[in-house]
């Protein structure tokens, strides 16, 4: 008991003497109490009927690495959205409905959802995570993504979760696959937050990237589809037969990458493929 009190005092003192620096604006800031976010985190669990709020969840989780001014500039995806690709439909009221692009070019996946808009603050956060090795962001971002999963899916409505893979060459350079880091601890997090005790089957090596493609970010919309065509394969195609799949990635830009994965999975007999990303470009 005494050790715990002393440890908490040490943590408080350390925060005062060495305040963290905001990852986005580089200003020093005083993070709120380390229990921030617990309230939002546990909301919606089996013992708490309060609805989950992505806004409060994002603010609570990211308050350890972003200042409040930057947190306030994060933008949550809100209805009305395209009921297929999840694109926010600007300046309109009313229910979710199909966007023009999904009508013109129907997707292979069933639905794609994301908790946050890919605006400059989140772009910076994801950049720090992916390219500057700030892997301490993996935990809060994974929790945020799990919250989005809880909002949009019933846990027993998905059989297999697949992170979108990197090619082995890029994996060796980066040292980790950001999509896998966003999902690898979901079962531990879910148990910790009293989420319904469903063991989610997360397969790291089932979906593989066989082609070392040019980074999609360097290409336009039409080029992305061509660039990513036939870039993936399955180690064990029999494993996806008649399965309901959820693909995980960090950012949904044009959807070319996840749609190519979905096309392959459906060709191998998957029942349907859904997509969850941290960020949605608009």
Instruction: Compute the least distance from the CB of residue 103 to Zn ion, in Å.
Output: 8
Name the one residue in this structure whose structure tokens are 């809060």. 140
Span of 30-38, 61-69, 165-173, 248-256 interacting with Zn ion by CB under 5 A: 61-69
**Residues numbered 83-112 forming contacts with Zn ion, rule: CB under 5 A:** 84-85, 87, 99, 102
Q: Which of 67, 81, 206, 231 binds Zn ion (CB under 5 A)?
A: 67
Instruction: Compute the least distance from the CB of residue 200 to Zn ion, in Å.
Output: 26
Distance (Å, whole) CA 246 – CA 73: 29
Residues 6 or more apart whose CB falls under 8 angstroms from that of 259 comprise: 107, 108, 109, 225
Residues 6 or more apart whose CB falls under 8 angstroms from that of 74 comprise: 58, 59, 62, 116, 119, 121, 122
Q: DSSP string covering 7-62, please? A: HHHHHHHHHHHSPPBPTTT--B-----TTTTHHHHHTTSTT--SPP-HHHHHHHHH
Instruction: Compute the least distance from the CB of residue 98 to Zn ion, in Å.
Output: 6
- Which residue's CB is nearer to Zn ion, number 22 or number 166? 22
| Helix segments in the chain, DSSP class H | 2-17, 38-42, 54-62, 68-72, 100-104, 120-131, 138-152, 168-174, 178-181, 186-192, 221-228, 256-267
- Which residue's CB is nearer to Zn ion, number 84 or number 122? 84
Instruction: Compute the least distance from the CB of residue 23 to Zn ion, in Å.
Output: 7
Instruction: Compute the least distance from the CB of residue 225 to Zn ion, in Å.
Output: 15
- Which residue's CB is nearer to Zn ion, number 32 or number 45? 32
Residues 6 or more apart whose CB falls under 8 angstroms from that of 28 comprise: 19, 20, 21, 22
Instruction: Compute the least distance from the CB of residue 107 to Zn ion, in Å.
Output: 7
71 touches Zn ion by CB under 5 A: no
- Which residue's CB is nearer to Zn ion, number 85 or number 164? 85
Instruction: Compute the least distance from the CB of residue 55 to Zn ion, in Å.
Output: 17
Number of CB atoms found within 10 A of residue 250's CB? 22
How many residues interact with Zn ion (rule CB under 5 A)? 11
138 touches Zn ion by CB under 5 A: no
Structure tokens at 172: 């060796």
Here's the x/- map for Zn ion, 20-59, by CB under 5 A: it reads as --x-xx----------------------------------
82 touches Zn ion by CB under 5 A: yes
Instruction: Give the interface with Zn ion as residue ranges (CB under 5 A).
Output: 22, 24-25, 67, 70, 82, 84-85, 87, 99, 102
């Amino acid at each position: 008991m005494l050790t715990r009190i002393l440890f908490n005092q040490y943590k408080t003192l350390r925060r005062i003497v060495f305040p963290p620096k905001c990852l986005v604006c580089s200003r020093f800031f005083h993070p709120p109490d380390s229990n921030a976010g617990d309230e939002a985190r546990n909301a919606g669990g089996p013992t708490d009927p309060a609805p989950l709020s992505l806004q409060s969840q994002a603010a609570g989780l990211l308050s350890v690495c972003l200042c409040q001014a930057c947190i306030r500039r994060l933008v949550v995806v809100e209805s009305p959205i395209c009921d297929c690709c999840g694109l926010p439909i600007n300046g309109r009221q009313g229910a979710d409905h199909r966007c023009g692009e999904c009508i013109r070019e129907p997707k292979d996946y069933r639905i794609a959802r994301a908790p946050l808009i890919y605006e400059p603050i989140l772009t910076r956060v994801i950049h720090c995570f992916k390219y500057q090795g700030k892997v301490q962001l993996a935990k809060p971002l994974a929790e945020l993504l799990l919250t989005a999963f809880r909002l949009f899916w019933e846990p027993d409505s998905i059989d297999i979760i697949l992170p979108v893979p990197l090619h082995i060459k890029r994996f060796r350079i980066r040292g980790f696959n950001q999509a896998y880091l966003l999902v690898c601890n979901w079962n531990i997090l879910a148990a910790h937050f009293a989420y319904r005790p469903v063991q989610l089957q997360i397969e790291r090596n089932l979906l593989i990237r066989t082609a070392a493609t040019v980074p999609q970010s360097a290409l336009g919309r039409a080029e992305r589809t061509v660039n990513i065509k036939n870039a993936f394969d399955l180690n064990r195609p029999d494993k996806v037969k008649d399965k309901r799949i959820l693909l995980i990635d960090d950012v949904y830009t044009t959807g070319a990458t996840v749609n190519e994965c979905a096309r392959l999975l459906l060709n191998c007999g998957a029942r349907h493929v859904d997509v969850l990303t941290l960020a949605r470009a608009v």
